[in-house]
Amino acid sequence: MLLYALKRLGLALIITAVALILLISMIQLIPGDPAAVLLGPLASPEMREMFRQQMGLDQPALVQIARFFGRVLTGDLGTDVLTNRSVLVTVMEQVPFTLALIFASITWSALIGIPLGCFAALYRGSLADRIVGILSVSSIALPSFVIAIYGLLLFSVKLGWFPTIGAGDRGAPLDQLYHLVLPSLAVGLGWVGYLARMVRASMLEVLSENHVRMARAFGLEERTITYRYALKIAIIPTVVLLGMGVGNMISSAVFAEIVFARPGVGKLIFDAISTRNYPVVMGAVMITTGFYVLCTLIADLVAAGLDPRVRSTL
């Protein structure tokens, strides 16, 4: 397990490095003068020159890449063009909000979706299974921004049950949690259906495998078979999916953060793009990339913890 973890960590570092190289090559590949493109038509030649020097765009590509890595490694992601603050600080200020949103969404959707999937698999073909199926597919089909907007209109504006905007008062966890309800509903709802479908399918597959029949032939109780023998296998693809899904959630978080005017990385990127605050966009993208790699790393490690066969691969 330790060996696997080390190898997997190495892989994660390589992936991050490749992602960063791709990111920086993209700047190189932009036709014409990147400074002109990135700063927009209104920028004066002096501004462009300054920007070019600031970004090191006047240097040869390899030097740029090397410098870039050097800076990233020391935590220097550049300076915010508008406020002149460190990008790292700007982005990191927003990270907890997005993390809270994503974590809340994943948690509640997993807590509901996974048992629902197990239930549907155990009672396959029943009315309950069909109802769960229909609800799941509809929840997957609904885009999260639609849920966000309608949730906002119905529960906050019309019924007044939940706050409309913001992330709650600093240092008041309950208030912050209260502010999380609607956004995490929007981000997580599709996942409930997705997870339920996924768990149901893999559970059905596992339950039809030979070793389950063998366990039954030994008279083990259905409960033991379901939760100890089958779920441990059926959950593995779901864990891996969740790891990647968290990365995916960042994009639905963008919508939720905008609709609910919540602070967060999504909103930060959105605002930075509209103000052409290029270093902030870059920094935020880098950090979300790192976050994504971290999530898949954790998911893979959990999967390896569950499945001994995974440990001996890689």
- Positions touching other proteins (CB under 8 A) are 209-211, 213-221, 224, 228-229, 232-233, 306-309, 312
d(CA 178, CA 165): 11
Using the minimum distance from each CB to other proteins, give the nearer residue, 201 or 220. 220
DSSP characters for 175-235?
HHHHHHHHHHHHHHHHHHHHHHHHHHHHHHHHHTSHHHHHHHHTT--HHHIIIIIIHHHHH
Residue 10 tokens, joined: 């190495």
Residue environment code for 116-146, b if the CB has 16+ CB neighbours within 10 A, otherwise e: bbbbbbbeeeeeebeebbeebeebbeeebbe
Closest approach of other proteins to the CB of residue 203, in Å: 14
The crossing angle, in degrees rounded to 10, of helices 127-141 and 87-122 is 160
Cα radius of gyration rounded to whole Å, the chain: 23
Closest approach of other proteins to the CB of residue 119, in Å: 18
Using the minimum distance from each CB to other proteins, give the nearer residue, 158 or 309. 309
Using the minimum distance from each CB to other proteins, give the nearer residue, 85 or 213. 213
Using the minimum distance from each CB to other proteins, give the nearer residue, 281 or 304. 304
Closest approach of other proteins to the CB of residue 218, in Å: 3
Closest approach of other proteins to the CB of residue 272, in Å: 45
Using the minimum distance from each CB to other proteins, give the nearer residue, 173 or 219. 219
What lies within 8 Å, CB to CB, of 162 at 6+ separation is: 155, 156, 178, 179, 181, 182
Decide if 137 contacts 217 (C-beta within 8 A): no
CA dihedral 157, 155, 197, 221 (to 10 degrees): 170
Closest approach of other proteins to the CB of residue 95, in Å: 35
Using the minimum distance from each CB to other proteins, give the nearer residue, 201 or 306. 306
Nearest to 135 by CA among 197, 181, 183, 186: 197
Closest approach of other proteins to the CB of residue 128, in Å: 17
Using the minimum distance from each CB to other proteins, give the nearer residue, 92 or 306. 306
Using the minimum distance from each CB to other proteins, give the nearer residue, 224 or 275. 224
d(CA 171, CA 191): 29
Closest approach of other proteins to the CB of residue 284, in Å: 39
In 3-state terms, what secondary structure has residue 86?
strand
Closest approach of other proteins to the CB of residue 134, in Å: 22
Closest approach of other proteins to the CB of residue 242, in Å: 18
Using the minimum distance from each CB to other proteins, give the nearer residue, 44 or 218. 218
Query: φ, ψ for residue 153 (rounded to 5)?
Result: -65, -45
d(CA 193, CA 190): 6
Decide if 198 contacts 240 (C-beta within 8 A): no
